[in-house]
């Protein structure tokens, strides 16, 4: 089979949460570029509208929805609306998330100083909203007996990570195991559930602090390749897990981290 067929998403209906910037934007682009109709979910009204307009201007298929993933009822309704409008739901990328506060190398990030409000907010957005996204999507995919779900975890959820905070690492560890759990249930319905565990990428998370030279160097020093990644570098793996070529892959949480978890 030629590569074009292996990665062809023509006619597929996709949802990407947190699509207005960063990894979500890059993933939405690559899905649309390979034929999918992409529903762009984000709380950023202007950002998601601008992305939808740009994709349409390039002759690609997209729609936008202003969705706050912390509002679980609204999130589930938005997923249902896409599936109802198009008669199916083929690909869902659960990407939306936030940073988890100071890392454990700082006094503010020490375990005794982690506040309940921060802990609860990070787990609600990074883990509970991912669960709700998968839950709402699975209902439609089980009925049609097909689908792909990809959740964005983190290498901080695969092992201890002093560069991140307790809430972030814990939430992303939960996402990784949520992927494994859901993959078992949904496999008989030909619904494939996988995760991506990024290392440091140049995104706007934590207010884009990773772009600051000192912060970037601190992260780059942990990576065997000696640098942080550009958001476009997520595209290949995201497309792989969404496309026909990964038809025998489920329950995997794949690092994309410049070799960080290899050491």
Higher pLDDT, 256 or 105: 256
C-alpha span between 74 and 81 (Å, rounded):
10
CATH at residue 67: 3.40.50.720
pLDDT for residue 214: 87
pLDDT for residue 232: 98
Q: How far is CA 50 from CA 1, 14, 46, 230, 231, in A?
A: 36, 18, 6, 21, 18
pLDDT for residue 8: 97
Encode pLDDT of 24-46 as tens digits. Answer: 999 999 999 999 999 999 999 99
pLDDT at residue 152 greater than cutoff 80:
yes
C-alpha span between 245 and 99 (Å, rounded):
32
Of the chain, the percentage scoring pLDDT greater than 70 comes to 99
pLDDT for residue 147: 98
Q: Is residue 170 part of a domain?
A: yes
pLDDT for residue 65: 98
Work out the burial of residue 247: count CB atoms within 10 Å of its CB; fewer than 13 is exposed, 13-18 middle, 19 or more buried.
Answer: exposed
CB crowding 221-245: b at 16 or more within 10 Å, else e: ebbeeeebbebebbbebbbbbbbeb
How many domains does the chain contain in total? 1
Encode pLDDT of 170-214 as tens digits. Answer: 999 999 999 999 999 999 999 999 999 999 999 877 667 788 888
pLDDT for residue 4: 86
Looking at the whole model, is its pTM more than 0.85? Answer: yes
Q: Is residue 263 part of a domain?
A: no
Of 168, 178, 229, 257, the catalytic one is: 168
Higher pLDDT, 3 or 166: 166
pLDDT at residue 215 greater than cutoff 70:
yes
Encode pLDDT of 52-98 as tens digits. Answer: 999 999 999 999 999 999 999 999 999 999 999 999 999 999 999 99
HSE value, Cβ hemisphere, 13 Å, CA-based, for 147: 32
Measured in degrees and rounded to the nearest 5, phi and psi for residue 241 equal: -75, -10
Q: Is residue 237 part of a domain?
A: yes
pLDDT at residue 1 greater than cutoff 80:
no
Higher pLDDT, 116 or 210: 116
Is 168 a residue of the active site? yes
Parent domain of 177: 3-258
């Amino acid at each position: 089979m030629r590569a074009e067929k292996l990665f062809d998403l023509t006619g597929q209906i996709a949802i990407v949460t947190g699509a207005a910037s960063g990894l979500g934007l890059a993933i939405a682009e690559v899905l649309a570029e390979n034929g999918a109709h992409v529903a762009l979910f984000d709380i950023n009204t202007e950002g998601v509208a601008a992305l939808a307009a740009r994709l349409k201007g390039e002759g690609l298929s997209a729609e936008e929805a202003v969705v706050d993933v912390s509002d679980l009822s609204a999130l589930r309704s938005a997923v249902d609306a896409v599936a109802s409008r198009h008669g199916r739901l083929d690909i869902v990328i659960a990407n939306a998330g936030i940073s988890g506060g100071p890392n454990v190398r700082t006094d503010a990030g020490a375990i005794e100083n982690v506040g309940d409000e921060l802990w609860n907010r990070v787990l609600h957005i990074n883990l509970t909203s991912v669960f709700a996204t998968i839950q709402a999507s699975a209902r439609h995919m089980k009925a049609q007996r097909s689908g792909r779900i990809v959740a964005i975890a983190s290498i901080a959820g695969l092992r201890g990570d002093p560069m991140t905070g307790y809430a972030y690492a814990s939430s992303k560890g939960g996402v990784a195991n949520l992927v494994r759990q859901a993959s078992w249930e949904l496999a008989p319905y030909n619904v494939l559930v996988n995760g991506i565990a990024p290392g440091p990428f140049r995104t706007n998370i934590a207010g884009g602090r990773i772009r600051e030279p000192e912060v970037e160097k601190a992260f780059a020093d942990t990576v065997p390749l000696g640098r942080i990644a550009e958001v476009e570098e997520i595209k290949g793996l995201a497309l792989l897990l969404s496309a026909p070529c990964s038809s025998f892959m489920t329950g995997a949480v794949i690092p994309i981290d410049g070799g960080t978890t290899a050491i």
